[in-house]
Amino acid sequence: KAGVTQTPRYLIKTRGQQVTLSCSPISGHRSVSWYQQTPGQGLQFLFEYFSETQRNKGNFPGRFSGRQFSNSRSEMNVSTLELGDSALYLCASSAGQGLIEQFFGPGTRLTVL
Amino acid sequence: GEDVEQSLFLSVREGDSSVINCTYTDSSSTYLYWYKQEPGAGLQLLTYIFSNMDMKQDQRLTVLLNKKDKHLSLRIADTQTGDSAIYFCAENRGYSTLTFGKGTMLLVSP
């Protein structure tokens, strides 16, 4: 079974631009969560989608948004990029409505210049 | 406080046991997790324990849970150089949200 895939793996953007990151969960998994990892703040929850609905959202500004498609693939978008958005963005998938095992992808490394 | 706490660094010799400790915050957390992250990689789920358990063993890994003290530990037996990585504990505070500690860097020397 293929794992969680994230594209692209690396991105370089400049301040003010926007970016879209993609995540394909494990086949059959319907829940996708996004996390931001930085050296200073560690791992922080962004949002979670289940069956195309956002079920939970972390404490991030509205510049961070996401969506999930009918095939469970998910995208997250960051608009008006700031230097502080430089981070590793991790996507995780889990099977069902109750979170037990959550499997992570390799991440997208975003650098904002 | 609201943070999941972990010690930042642990150094052991190859063949020794490693014990990584974590203090979590939410007594209603249903599952507690240990993840491993190697440089440049995502998080690898090592093991998890349900909150009504005291202990779980999985090959070289042993997880101990003390609910009264909200203390979680991960013991790695016969630690190898390939175990060098950052280890994160995480708690499930409900629905699908995982709250992570800052991670413990484990360095295994030959």
Q: If pLDDT is split at 50, 70 and 90, which confidence band does B1 have?
A: very low
Percentages (nearest 5) of helix, strand, coil residues in chain B: 5, 55, 40
Flag whether residue A60 sits within 8 Å of chain B, measured between CB atoms. no
Tokens of B93: 């505070």
Q: What is the DSSP letter of B7?
A: -
- pLDDT at residue A82 above 50? yes
Q: If pLDDT is split at 50, 70 and 90, which confidence band does A1 have?
A: low
Chain A residues in contact with B95 by the CB 8 A cut-off are 48, 55-56, 99
Q: Average of pLDDT values for A50-67?
A: 94
Residue of higher predicted confidence among A36 and B68 = A36
Residue of B nearest to A10 (CA): B40
Flag whether residue B103 sits within 8 Å of chain A, measured between CB atoms. yes
Q: If pLDDT is split at 50, 70 and 90, which confidence band does A77 have?
A: very high
* Average pLDDT across chain A, whole number: 93
What percent of chain A lies above the pLDDT cut of 90?
87
Q: Is B66 exposed, middle or buried (0-12, 13-18, 19+ CB in 10 A)?
A: exposed
pLDDT attached to residue B2? 61
Chain B residues in contact with A51 by the CB 8 A cut-off are none
Q: A99 vs B44: CB contact, 8 Å cut-off? A: no
Chain B residues in contact with A55 by the CB 8 A cut-off are 95-96
Q: How far apart are CA A84 and CA A15, in angstroms?
A: 10
Selected for mutation to probe chain A from B3, B31, B43 (highest A CB count within 10 Å) is B43
Write the single-letter amino acid at A90: L
pLDDT attached to residue A96? 66
- pLDDT at residue A92 above 60? yes
